Amino acid sequence: MDAEGQKPRRRARTLWLLGIVAALAVVGTIAAVLVYRWQMPRVRSQIVRILSDELGARVELADLQVALGWQVLVEGRGLVLHHARETPDVPPLISIDRFTIAAPVTAVLASPIRIDSVEIERLAIFIPKRSDREPDADEGETPRQPDEPGRTEDRAPEAPSAEAPSARERGPSPVVIGRIVATDTSLALQSSKPDRAPKEFLIHSVTLTDAAFDRPVSFEAHLTNPTPQGVVRTSGQFGPWEADEPALTRVGGEYRFEQADLGTIKGIGGALESSGRFDGPLERIVVDGTTRTPDFSLDVGGAALPLETKFQAIVDGSNGDTLLNDVQAVLGTTPLTAKGGVVHTPRRKGRTVSLEVAIANGRLEDVLRLAIDEPRPPMSGALTLDTTLELPPGEPRVADRLALDGSFTVDDLRFASRGIQDKIDEFSRRGRGKPTEDQIENVASAMRGRFRLRNGTLSLTGVRFAVRGGLVQLDGKYVLRGGALDFRGTVRLDARASQTMTGWKSWVLKPFDPILAKDGAGTVLPITIKGTARQPKFGVDVKKIF
């Protein structure tokens, strides 16, 4: 057959192939529509069932759309999960404004279902407090709340029981997700105390990898800490999820706290950086870390000092309290240790700092720089101190809210003011009975006593100020605001009264030597100290002498 005869056959064959392709396209389109309509409720029911079973939740889903191709794209809106123990005044366990799921077309046929990625917008998580007891059998189910208009409620074939097994007792996870990204997330932990608001954290972004219900999930998060305000970057592992008691779900990893403004805590200031590790259930996280604040300050007007700490703390997620087991700190050059907590104050907004503080081999000038509004510390010396410290929340200055109760010892005490130090040197010379020996100078003192600070007033008891040749014993009060002094006590000298003077004054005092010599001391004088810290007024209580 010639070439002219083959052309009609080729043309017919081409038309036949085109017809087959068109028919397949029509059948494929019809099949796609049928599969879409078949898969839509199946995907919806799978999402509801998995979330209900694995999280122990009652699930609501407002809208779901499925797009089929080489990849399955699922977009949902208004996903809400209610805790099995829900009550009318408790928010949902989880609520999501919008989510998008991307998975291969064969994902729903695999076991476990393998999803490439999930993107979540505006995720809110509420962790209820741990239940004190299981519900009684005759209490029945929690009444259902009326559905919101325009929202449908989906239920798993069987509602999760209050005695569902924990994540560690379940079988393999029915779904594995390669990557979950959530933005604009809030995490709230319900307080175990009925009068406290939930502790809330705003998480700008969180990424989970290799996510499943039967294993810990790796995460990276970026969030803002409310108080002190600052940026936290953290990574670690979360889970597996404890459906019955979400507060027992474990979390662990590393954190870095940056740009923290201590000024958001009333009464203190400085820029803090911290890093460390954490581990434990959400209701009781153990944190081991360090902090560095190059400019720590108090609002009493003192200077800013560098403060570095190494600590172990327990963060109680059920009430937001922080228990400090062991704090090793250095303030300026002074080492100190502390333990205690930052706990909620009943019927008041905010938390109270309650600590036991100890200083050994510290420097008095470091503490005075921080606490006194003076160009330079008025005294220096080796400081030993033990005290309880309580700082409740409130608007007044730290000096008016701070409560202290303890004891102190200062050795090798010297005064910055040349005038005051000259008086101390003179006191030592006269106490030794050598009033004219100028070689006795720059005398070191020692001081010890007990103190109690309340409402801005420092009460001192059993204060003993000693130099070679003399001893001052005092009790009294010092008002921090204004510096008013009101002390009474005694001066004891080794020398007789007449030996403290020269010339005619010595002869005048000789008759008084027997009167003023008491209790083994050469001279005992009752004294008062009035005025202010900047201008003290010393006096002798003559009535007590006689």
Quick check: is 303 in a domain?
no
Tell me the residue range of the domain where 98 lies.
11-129+168-226
Element (H, E) at 48: helix 3-55
In sequence order, what are the residues at sequence separation of 6 or more whose Cβ sits closer than 8 angstroms to the Cβ of residue 7? none
What is the sign, positive or negative, of the torsion defined by CA atoms of 389, 392, 395, 396? negative
| Boundary (domain end) residue, out of 226, 242, 275 | 226
Residue 392 falls inside a structural domain:
yes
β-strands 403-415, 445-454: how paired? antiparallel
- Residue 120's CB: how many other CB atoms inside 10 A? 22
Statement to judge: residues 215 and 359 lie in one domain: no
Count of C-beta atoms within a 10 Å radius of residue 11 = 10
Report the alpha-carbon distance of residue 382 to residue 365 in Å, rounded. Answer: 9
In a domain, 16, yes or no: yes
Same-domain check for residues 493 and 358: yes
Question: Could you give the CA distance from residue 512 to residue 27 in angstroms, rounded to a whole number?
Answer: 127
Q: Domain boundary at 207, 226, 245, which?
A: 226
313: in domain: no
Q: Indicate whether 96 belongs to any domain.
A: yes
Q: Is 483 helix (H, G, I), strand (E, B) or coil?
A: coil
Nearest to 352 by CA among 296, 406, 285, 403: 403
Domain co-membership, 181 together with 33: yes
pLDDT at 13: 56
Indicate whether 375 belongs to any domain.
yes
In angstroms, rounded to a whole number, what is the distance separating the alpha carbons of residues 46 and 52? 10
Are 204 and 223 a contacting pair, CB within 8 Å?
Answer: yes
Per-10-residue mean pLDDT for the chain, 546 residues long?
57 55 47 46 77 82 82 87 73 88 74 85 83 43 37 41 44 85 83 70 86 88 80 90 82 90 78 92 89 85 86 77 87 92 72 88 88 80 92 78 90 83 84 85 87 89 90 89 86 88 88 85 87 80 69
Residue showing tokens 């009684």: 136
392 and 532 assigned to the same domain: yes
Q: Which residue, of 176, 211, 226, is where some domain finishes?
A: 226
Residues 512 and 368 in one domain: yes
**Residue 322 within any structural domain of the chain:** no
- Residue 198 and residue 55 share a domain: yes
> How many CB atoms are closer than 10 A to CB 508?
12
Q: Which pair of tokens denotes residue 535? A: 């201008």
Q: Is 295 a domain residue?
A: no
Residue found by looking up tokens 């003077």 in the block:
501
Residues 6+ apart with CB under 8 A from 470: 427, 428, 430, 431, 491, 492, 493, 494
Q: How far is CA 175 from the centre of its chain?
A: 35
Same domain, residue pair 358 and 210: no
For the chain, the domain total comes to 2
> What confidence score (pLDDT) does residue 170 get?
59
Which pTM value belongs to this model? 0.70
